[in-house]
Amino acid sequence: MSAAMDTESTYSGYSHYSGHSKKTHRQGRDRHKSPRSKDGSRSEKSVTIQTPPAEPLLGNDASRAEEGQDDNWGETTTAITGTSEHSISQEDIARISKDLEDSVGLDCKRYLGLTVAAVLGLLVFLTPIAFILLPQILWRDDLEPCGTVCEGLFISVAFKLLILLIGTWALFFRQPKADLPRVFVFRALLLVLIFLFVFSYWLFYGVRILDSKDTNYQGIVQYAVSLVDALLFIHYLAIVLLELRQLQPMFTVKVVRSTDGESRYYSLGHLSIQRAALVVLENYYRDFTVYNPALLTASKSRATKHMAGLKVYNVDGPGNNASGQSRAMIAAAARRRDSSHNELYYEEADHERRVKKRRARLVVAVEEAFTHIKRLQAEEQQKAPGEMMDPREAAQAIFPSMARALQKYLRTTRQQQYHSMESILQHLSFCITNNMTPKAFLERYLNPGPTLQYDRDRWFSKQWTLVSEEAVTSGLQDGIVFVLKCLDFSLVVNVKKIPFIKLSEEFIDPKSHKFVLRLQSETSV
Amino acid sequence: TALSCFISFSFQQRIEIHKLRQGDNLILGFSIGGGIDQDPTQNPFSEDKTDKGIYVTRVTEGGPAEVAGLQIGDKIMQVNGWDMTMVTHDQARKRLTKRNEEVVRLLVTRQSLQKAVQQSMMS
């Protein structure tokens, strides 16, 4: 067994996938893989913690020995260096630890806020009912009889409470979609207002009615009705403050990604900085193309080449004149006649040509592959039962003919990490099921799409930090700049006020449209 | 100003054209442009682009007009005593092509003439 495995030192990525995708534990085969560079392979980069325990992190001998599948792995294994598939880099460790410690702290804050609001809401809802019921319970015999008027008031209280309940459910009972760094000012204000309001009503009730055991039941019921009315108005205030005020666009924000300069503009109303940041992030996932670190390597290598040719030697003695040195380097670099612009131009032209060629091959291959599949109509399905395939099998059948062209294209455009073979097969069977044309199938691969389109592992942007010179609960103003940082890149947001528009009217009478002919004729006489 | 009026008056020239018979028509051998119903800004010969007078736009070679001394760019002021400074294009044509007239006497004014005399007066 080990001898057979020994000879499999290189093999194509595809034959490996049928095992890998089902996550069966063929650890013996995995260990015999030769180390691969990160970019070259199309296989999944399994760096998350939740891989099954049989695929261990670096050098975890104990679990391997426990499985006991291949006893001879010690002799037949090739060395696993830091860049093999089952290692994690330093960046990933930092990311994972940050995720762990942050999730614990924020959850407490969020749940505290929610419980306070829920308790207050329940209290507020039960208060009118308590106001009405307490006299009945405590001094029922002393109360003046109160016939139809009170019953009418009971009905109105009941319906108003129902409306309040539905309105509160519609407005407030929503899945919180984000964790903001500071408390939401308007919500806190409203909670305080409601608390003070209900507190003052209870105070009045307690002193004037409970203590003195007022017998005018109709007055008490009307007091409860006034409380419910006031609560409905507070609900109206909540709608206006929380929902309506920011609907009218007042500011235009420009969002620029720091790594590649991709920018977008959005229109916002009166929001606090943290809520504006939230809106920007929600739109970021939909509008910006996915962050691809592989595309940045070219400019980085050019940058290192610029300064690589110069070295500064200090001949005047050991004085450490750092700024003088760097200025000298900059001046020398500026004077040097380098032809890197030429290189860049030809490199880009060459790359474009290559991409276009590969794209043409890909399109042809996919079109040809799609011609092999035909949908069976319902009547035909009974006639040829033997050869029928479901979409997944059909996708697997035509995939090999286009796989190579697709892989080459993805490599050239440096997108290969974003598409695993499994995801491609899934997409292919999805397209086949929905009668899509080859072009519709390819739309996902030809151009990089928004971040939402890809697997969550590939996002590079899950934990965001808001960096701002103003307080994050203060409102947007013209000229404010804040930055949304994540681990690999940042979004710089620049706020501009929409200018005040002065619009005047001009009336044109429809009958005033008159024309003349302007001729210049020449007649010979 | 009295002197300038006198000067502009004397720059007019009288030209007598004898019409040539060609088949059934009597032709004069030139083309006219302009008129109060036309666009004066498109006139290449006028100095003042609001001038809606009748101008000579072409003179056929060897025709009666050329023989009589009419030149391209001349502004026709009168034809046989009829004023041509405030007429439509069609009226001008009609006045020039009356079938019973064999001779037309034109009063024309010419810019080149004006400039030559102005220069001689200034020097």
Each domain of chain A, given as residue ranges in start order, spans 105-244, 251-292+468-497, 343-447
The rounded distance, in Å, linking the Cα atoms of A221 and A149 is 10
- In this prediction, residue A55 carries a pLDDT of 36
- Are A266 and A283 in contact by the 8 Å Cβ rule? The answer is yes
- In this prediction, residue A373 carries a pLDDT of 85
Chain A residue closest in CA terms to B34? A520
The rounded distance, in Å, linking the Cα atoms of A201 and A224 is 9
- In this prediction, residue A329 carries a pLDDT of 74
Check CB contact of B32 with chain A, cutoff 8 Å.
yes
- Are A143 and A215 in contact by the 8 Å Cβ rule? The answer is yes
Q: Does the distance separating the beta carbons of B33 and A524 come in below 8 Å?
A: no
Q: Does the distance separating the beta carbons of A523 and B32 come in below 8 Å?
A: yes
* Option in A520, A523, A525 nearest B42 (CB): A520
Ordered per-residue pLDDT tens for chain A, 525 residues: 444 444 433 433 343 443 343 444 444 444 444 444 344 344 444 333 333 444 334 434 443 434 444 455 445 545 444 444 445 555 556 566 555 555 555 577 778 888 888 899 899 999 999 988 888 888 877 778 888 888 999 999 999 999 999 999 988 877 777 778 888 888 889 999 999 999 999 999 999 888 888 888 888 899 999 999 999 999 999 999 888 988 999 999 999 999 989 999 999 999 999 999 999 999 999 999 988 888 888 777 777 777 666 666 667 666 666 777 778 777 777 777 677 788 889 989 999 999 999 999 999 999 999 998 888 877 777 776 677 888 899 999 999 999 999 999 999 999 888 899 999 999 999 999 999 999 999 999 998 888 888 888 878 878 899 999 988 889 999 999 999 999 889 999 999 999 999 999 999 999 999 987 777 888 988
Q: Does the distance separating the beta carbons of B30 and A524 come in below 8 Å?
A: yes
Closest listed residue to residue A276, CA positions, set A291, A255, A290: A255
Q: Does the distance separating the beta carbons of A525 and B38 come in below 8 Å?
A: no
* Residue that is written with structure tokens 């599949």 in the block: A373
Helix A322-335, helix A297-308: angle, nearest 10: 100
Q: What φ, ψ does residue A361 adopt, rounded to 5°?
A: -65, -40
- The ipTM estimated for the assembled molecules is 0.79
The rounded distance, in Å, linking the Cα atoms of A99 and A183 is 21
The domain limits of chain B are: 2-118
- Are A424 and A392 in contact by the 8 Å Cβ rule? The answer is no
Chain B residue closest in CA terms to A524? B31
* pTM higher than the cut 0.80: no
The rounded distance, in Å, linking the Cα atoms of A199 and A195 is 6
Check CB contact of A7 with chain B, cutoff 8 Å.
no
Check CB contact of A516 with chain B, cutoff 8 Å.
no
- In this prediction, residue A185 carries a pLDDT of 87
Q: How many residues does chain B have?
A: 123
Evaluate if residue B56 carries a pLDDT over 70: yes
Residues facing residue B21 across a β-bridge: B26
The rounded distance, in Å, linking the Cα atoms of A276 and A282 is 10
Q: Does the distance separating the beta carbons of A523 and B31 come in below 8 Å?
A: yes
How far A524 CA sits from the closest chain B CA (Å)? 4
- In this prediction, residue A496 carries a pLDDT of 95
- From first CA to last CA, the distance across chain B in angstroms is 19
Q: What φ, ψ does residue A524 adopt, rounded to 5°?
A: -95, 135
The rounded distance, in Å, linking the Cα atoms of A86 and B2 is 110
Q: What residues of chain A lie within 8 A of the CB of B32, using their CB? A: 522-525
Annotate B35-96 with three-state secondary structure. Answer: CCCCCHHHCCCCCCCCCCCEEEEEECCCCHHHHHCCCCCCEEEEECCEECCCCCHHHHHHHH
The rounded distance, in Å, linking the Cα atoms of A186 and A239 is 11
Check CB contact of B88 with chain A, cutoff 8 Å.
no
Residues facing residue B103 across a β-bridge: B18
Q: Does the distance separating the beta carbons of A520 and B31 come in below 8 Å?
A: no
Q: Does the distance separating the beta carbons of A522 and B31 come in below 8 Å?
A: yes
Phi/psi-derived region of residue B73, left when phi > 0, alpha when psi is between -120 and 50, beta in every other case: left
Q: Does the distance separating the beta carbons of A525 and B28 come in below 8 Å?
A: yes
* Residue that is written with structure tokens 């046989």 in the block: B80
- In this prediction, residue A295 carries a pLDDT of 83
- Are A369 and A406 in contact by the 8 Å Cβ rule? The answer is no
Does domain B2-118 fall under CATH 2.30.42.10? My reply is yes
Check CB contact of B26 with chain A, cutoff 8 Å.
no
Rounded to an integer, the average pLDDT of B72-94 is: 92
- Are A195 and A126 in contact by the 8 Å Cβ rule? The answer is no
| Residue B4 or A369, more confident | A369
Alpha-carbon separation of residue A55 from A74, A78, A235, A274 (angstroms): 16, 16, 55, 41
